[in-house]
A = this chain, B = another copy of it.
Amino acid sequence: VEERKDADKSDPYANDPKRHPALIPSSVKPFNAEPPVSLLIHNYITPNDLFFVRNHLPVPQINIKDFKLDIAIDGSEKKAKSFTVDTLKKVFPKRKITTTLQCAGNRRSEQIKIKPVKGLNWGMAAISTAEWTGATLDDVLKHCGVDIEKVNFAHIQFEGMDRGPDGTSYGASIPMEMARMLKNEIIIAYEMNGVDIPRDHGYPLRVIVPGTVGARQVKWLNKIVLSNEESGSHWQQRDYKGFNASVDWDTVDFKKSHAIQFLPVNSAICEPEEGQTLEKDADEVTLKGYAWSGGGRGIFRVDVSADGGKTWRTADLLEKPESLKQTDYRAWAWVFWEATIPLPENHDGKVELVCKASDSQYNVQPDSVEGVWNLRGCLNNAWHRVHVNVAK
């Protein structure tokens, strides 16, 4: 990657890549952005340049000729093994996974409206879907003499090449138990939708852990460590955890909470949009949106309401692409849905639309944002509400 001519050497973000102008930033340095919701549900597979971007630090400049992925065993002096990207491509069978990635902070803006939280002001599009290609973690570890089924280490740590001002790199980990459950569906990806992973999304390598929060799917991956400890990183230890609505910054104890891994069931209305005015004298409305659950749980049902949740109709779940044979318990990718429902007869020009989904474990979304509010604004999966005006 060449340095930009105009790069300001004192700005660590000076060499960040160019981005699609349609992306809506929630922060510029580091760059974080989501696509407009209308574009989000336009493509089942999100185009790379519209995929939401969640960067914690500057995008690293990586020279592919010098790049290696190290596999290390905690407590052991020497590395177990190093791989170039070329080796990963040549030595291991190619595995493709189509999976939805969601930021833990997706839909945080609805929490912020109730009470301030610490975190980026994400709308409902900090979620996207791509087909990732790579070597399975299982194959790579086996090559290193490690059998996930038998290994005694309790965690797998992932380290990225993105670094903060103090030199520490982004890191995260998953429990070995999750690696066993997901096994040959965790991949060390080198392609995103058929091309080299774009710089914003982890070039040249990103670990893909289907069904899991985006934060654990480390970009610019250059180190995997088998360990008995979770990653010691800020983002594993003091971030991306859940708390009840009464925990504040004086009482919070990150040690006592659990790292977010698999995400709960979620859904959102992408059409119509908040504040939109429907056509004059409309007596029905067509809603469109997405639904997704973590842990491979598919979506059994999406319900929609045009009266704030007093009465419900079941939406149609749209067919997924023919090639995507994902089952009820290994459904890594989202579902799009659609419903045309009557407006309430005696509305006063203002209508509250609502959606909520049930996953294949019959887990449901909670009714109120108040109930899931937390000081970090993570894990908002309350019923999604959109208010529209109906001209009379």
A binding-site residues for B, Cβ under 8 Å: 175, 177-178, 181, 242, 244-247, 256-258, 260-265, 294-295, 297, 300-301, 303, 309, 311-314, 327-330, 356, 358, 360-368, 371-372, 379, 381, 383
| Shortest distance between the CB of A357 and any CB in chain B (Å) | 11
In the bound complex, residues from chain B placing their C-beta under 8 Å from that of A330 are 177
| Contact between A301 and B244, CB atoms less than 8 A apart | yes
Once the chains are docked, how many angstroms separate the CA of A181 from the CA of B362?
Answer: 17
Task: Report yes or no: B303 in contact with A361, Cβ–Cβ below 8 A.
Answer: no
Q: How far is the CA of A314 from the CA of B256 in the complex (A)?
A: 10
Known: A264-B361, A356-B371, A364-B366. 7 other contacts (CB 8 A): A181-B329, A242-B301, A244-B303, A246-B311, A264-B362, A295-B295, A365-B366
- In the bound assembly, the distance between CA atoms of A372 and B364 in angstroms comes to 8
- Contact check, B366 vs A242: say whether CB atoms are below 8 A apart: no
Residue in B closest to A256 when the chains form the complex, CB atoms:
B314
* Residue in B247, B262, B360 whose beta carbon sits within 8 Å of that of A262 in the complex: B360
Q: Give the residue name and chain of the B residue nearest to A361 (CB).
A: B262
Say yes or no: A257 contacts B301, CB within 8 Å: yes
The secondary-structure label for the interface of chain A is loop
Q: A322 → chain B, closest Cβ, in Å?
A: 19
Q: Is the CB of A367 within 8 A of B364?
A: no
Determine which residue in A181, A244, A246, A311 has the highest number of CB atoms from chain B within 10 A of its CB, and name it: A244
Chain B proximity of A15: nearest CB distance (Å): 36
Tell me, in angstroms, the Cα distance from A273 to B60 when the chains sit together. Answer: 58
Smallest distance from the beta carbon of A63 to chain B beta carbons, Å?
39
Q: A378: nearest residue on chain B (CB-CB)?
A: B362
Task: Please provide the 10 A-B residue pairs with the shortest distance between their CB atoms, ordered closest to farther.
Answer: A367-B367, A244-B312, A262-B361, A363-B363, A264-B363, A244-B303, A246-B312, A366-B366, A258-B300, A246-B311
Chain B residues contacting A367 (CB-CB under 8 Å) are 366-368, 371
Interchain CA distance A365-B361 in the complex, whole Å: 13
Say yes or no: A362-B242 contact (C-beta < 8 A), given A258-B300, A367-B367, A367-B368. yes
Verify B364–A312 contact, CB threshold 8 A: no
Given the interface contacts A175-B328, A181-B329, A329-B181, does A245 sit within 8 Å of B362 by beta carbon? no
Contacts of A244 in B (CB 8 A): 301, 303, 312-314
Provide the residues of chain B in CB contact with A381, threshold 8 Å. 364
Contact of A245 among B242, B264, B312, B379 (CB under 8 A): B312
Supply 30 A–B pairs (Cβ within 8 Å), ascending by A: A175-B329, A177-B327, A178-B329, A181-B329, A242-B300, A242-B301, A242-B358, A244-B301, A244-B303, A245-B311, A245-B312, A246-B312, A246-B313, A247-B314, A256-B314, A258-B300, A258-B360, A261-B361, A263-B362, A264-B364, A294-B361, A295-B361, A309-B371, A361-B363, A362-B379, A364-B366, A364-B372, A364-B381, A367-B368, A367-B371
- A372 to chain B: closest residue by CB: B364
- Chain B nearest CB from A258 CB (Å) reads 5
Looking at A247, A309, A362, A364, the one whose CB has the most chain B CB atoms below 10 A away is A362
Q: For residue A381, which residue of chain B has the nearest CB?
A: B364
Q: Is A361 within 8 A of B263, CB to CB?
A: yes
Which residues does chain B contribute within 8 Å of A372, judged by CB atoms? Answer: 364
Known A-B contacts A257-B301, A300-B258; A265 and B363 likewise in contact (beta carbons under 8 Å): yes
